[in-house]
């Protein structure tokens, strides 16, 4: 079997802060194949954007990869210099639709000039061919082709977002990283962009790393998923396996917190509390303080992301009670029948 397109292994990322080193990602592992749509879900602050930024070499200055590897087409890239990233990866291989596109366009350059510069560095295409490709993408994202020569300030916020998406896709990259790409867009436009990505997937085996807090979008559009909670991957696997047979309490409670068209009458789950901010080494399950099924062991060490042993070899959960938690949840709701009743000694 060939290498996965992207392989993230045991990745740990920390930010230097006044309060000490904050662990934003702790031991994360997942891989994305050619033509695979992979969703990374989780509440705000779980480490999704940090993971994506590390892949494209865009960590904030106070952030660093503190352990693990990121391989792209088999080559380790976590220590690539800016020059290597620009020359070998960005735009043509991996393109990035950032969470906030508002400041991503150069205000001093027409969009077509920005495209020309990207095209010059990464392809042999003529200027005319680059303009044609950009016009095609403008049509896909619902912008008039004639506006490729506009400056960013001539667009509204939503239009700037669409211009960024056009720039991210016009060179047909192998991997598109999209961080909450559709939050500023209406549903029709979201649908149009996903349809276009699906076409790229069919025609050119384009892969997608889709980052969102909305797991229902991932269940609709992705082949695989990882659900993160406060720096750790709680569960990972094919969308089908994680949807139908979830094992980690955060994964199934998070999933049940969103409406599902297949179960219109279900009450939505509420997860009490907030994810912790983790200073220093992570030495416990980051969900333990919010988990109805947590036992002593969960606070004594961080559970490894182990295979759950079903038909999907990629399906793994980092929970000491992965074998029983979902069954208990289905029988008793979000309470542990083995836990002492309140008021007991
Ligand atoms: N530059 C930074 N300096 C210090 N801490 C940071 C920095 N950037 C992110 N963090 C912290 O790292 C953790 C992970 O943040 P990250 O933005 O990766 O999460 P996220 O899951 O993408 O959240 P959101 O959905 O809100 O974007 C959070 O605790 C956040 O406060």
The total of structural domains in the chain comes to 1
At 9-30, the pLDDT tens digits run 999 999 999 999 999 999 999 9
Q: Is residue 192 part of a domain?
A: no
Q: Measured between alpha carbons, how far is 42 from 250 in angstroms, rounded to an integer?
A: 9
DSSP labels, 78-112: TT--HHHIIIIIBTTTEEEE-S--TTTS-TTS-HH
**How large is the average pLDDT for residues 258-276?**
81
Residue 278 Cα, ligand 1 centroid: separation in angstroms?
A: 11
List the one residue out of 210, 218, 201 whose CA is nearest residue 179: 210
Distance (Å) of CA 80 to CA 93, 94, 211, 312: 14, 14, 23, 33
Q: Is residue 312 part of a domain?
A: yes
Q: Please check the confidence at residue 331 and state whether its pLDDT lies above 90.
A: no
Q: Is residue 191 part of a domain?
A: no
Q: What does the mean pLDDT of the chain come to?
A: 90
Task: Identify the residue whose C-alpha is closest to ligand 1 atom 4.
Answer: 15
- Ligand 1-lining residues (CB < 6 angstroms): 15, 17, 22, 24, 42, 44-50, 60, 62-63, 99, 213, 277
Q: Measured between alpha carbons, how far is 53 from 184 in angstroms, rounded to an integer?
A: 20
Kindly provide the b/e burial profile for residues 9-35, where b requires at least 16 CB atoms within 10 angstroms of the residue's own CB.
Answer: bebbbbbeeeeebbbbbbbbbbbbbbb
Residue 67 Cα, ligand 1 centroid: separation in angstroms?
A: 18
Sheet holding 20-32, edge to edge: 20-32, 6-17, 63-72, 75-76
Q: What is the CATH number of the domain that holds 2?
A: 3.40.50.300
Q: Is residue 150 part of a domain?
A: no
Q: Is residue 256 part of a domain?
A: yes
List the one residue out of 51, 50, 49, 43 whose CA is nearest residue 290: 43
Query: DSSP state, 31?
Result: E
At 147-198, the pLDDT tens digits run 999 999 999 888 888 899 999 999 999 999 998 876 667 778 888 888 899 9
The best mutation among 8, 46, 218, 274 to test binding of ligand 1, ranked by most ligand atoms within 8 Å of the C-beta, falls on 46
The complex's ipTM?
A: 0.98
Q: Measured between alpha carbons, how far is 304 from 319 in angstroms, rounded to an integer?
A: 7
Question: To 10 degrees, the CA torsion angle through 171, 176, 177, 178?
Answer: 90
Q: Is residue 4 part of a domain?
A: yes
Q: Which two tokens stand for residue 170?
A: 């016009």
The best mutation among 20, 43, 49 to test binding of ligand 1, ranked by most ligand atoms within 8 Å of the C-beta, falls on 49
Position 341 scores a pLDDT of 55
Ligand 1 atom closest to 60 (CA):
1
**How large is the average pLDDT for residues 210-238?**
94
> Does residue 159 sit in helix, strand or coil?
helix
Q: Measured between alpha carbons, how far is 333 from 270 in angstroms, rounded to an integer?
A: 11
Q: Please check the confidence at residue 315 and state whether its pLDDT lies above 70.
A: yes
Q: Is residue 136 part of a domain?
A: no
Q: Measured between alpha carbons, how far is 3 from 1 in angstroms, rounded to an integer?
A: 7
Q: Which domain holds residue 22?
A: 1-93+173-186+206-335
Position 102 scores a pLDDT of 64
Ligand 1 atom closest to 49 (CA):
22
Q: Measured between alpha carbons, how far is 318 from 7 in angstroms, rounded to an integer?
A: 18
**How large is the average pLDDT for residues 131-137?**
94
Residue 155's CB: how many other CB atoms inside 10 A? 17
Task: Identify the residue whose C-alpha is closest to ligand 1 atom 31.
Answer: 45
Which ranges in 95-238 belong to alpha helices (H)? 111-122, 127-140, 157-169, 187-204, 215-221
The best mutation among 50, 97, 228 to test binding of ligand 1, ranked by most ligand atoms within 8 Å of the C-beta, falls on 50
Tell me what percent of the residues of the chain surpass a pLDDT of 90.
Answer: 68
Task: Identify the residue whose C-alpha is closest to ligand 1 atom 7.
Answer: 15
Residue 277 Cα, ligand 1 centroid: separation in angstroms?
A: 10
Q: Is residue 195 part of a domain?
A: no
């Amino acid at each position: 079997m060939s290498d996965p397109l992207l392989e993230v292994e045991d990745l740990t990322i920390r930010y230097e802060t006044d309060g000490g080193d904050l662990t934003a990602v702790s031991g994360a592992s997942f891989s994305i194949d050619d033509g695979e749509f992979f969703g990374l879900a989780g509440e705000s602050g779980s480490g999704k954007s940090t993971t994506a930024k590390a892949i494209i070499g865009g960590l904030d200055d106070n952030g660093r990869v503190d352990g693990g590897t990121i391989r792209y087409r088999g080559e380790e890239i976590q220590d690539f210099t800016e020059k290597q990233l620009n020359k070998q990866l960005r735009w043509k291989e991996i393109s990035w639709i950032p969470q906030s596109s508002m400041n991503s366009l150069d205000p001093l350059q027409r969009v077509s000039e920005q495209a020309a510069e990207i095209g010059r560095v990464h392809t042999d295409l003529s200027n005319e061919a680059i303009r044609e490709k950009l016009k095609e993408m403008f049509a896909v994202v619902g912008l008039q082709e004639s506006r490729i020569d506009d400056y960013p300030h001539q667009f509204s916020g939503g239009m700037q977002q669409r211009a960024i998406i056009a720039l991210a896709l016009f060179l047909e990259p192998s991997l598109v990283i999209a961080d909450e790409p559709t939050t500023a867009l209406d549903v029709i436009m979201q649908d149009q962009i996903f349809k276009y990505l699906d076409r790229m997937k069919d025609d050119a085996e384009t892969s997608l790393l889709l980052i969102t807090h909305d797991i229902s979008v991932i269940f609709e559009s992705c082949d695989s998923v990882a659900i993160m909670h406060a720096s750790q991957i709680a569960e990972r696997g094919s969308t089908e396996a994680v949807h139908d047979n979830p094992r980690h309490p955060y994964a199934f409670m998070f999933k049940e917190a969103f409406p599902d068209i297949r179960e219109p009458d279900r009450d939505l789950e509420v997860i009490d509390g907030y994810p912790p901010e983790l200073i220093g080494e992570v030495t416990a399950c980051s969900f333990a303080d919010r988990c109805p099924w947590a036992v002593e062991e969960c606070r004594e060490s961080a559970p490894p992301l182990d295979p759950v042993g079903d038909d999907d070899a990629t399906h793994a959960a980092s929970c000491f009670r992965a074998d029983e938690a979902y069954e208990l949840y289905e029988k008793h709701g979000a309470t542990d029948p083995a836990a002492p009743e309140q008021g007991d000694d």
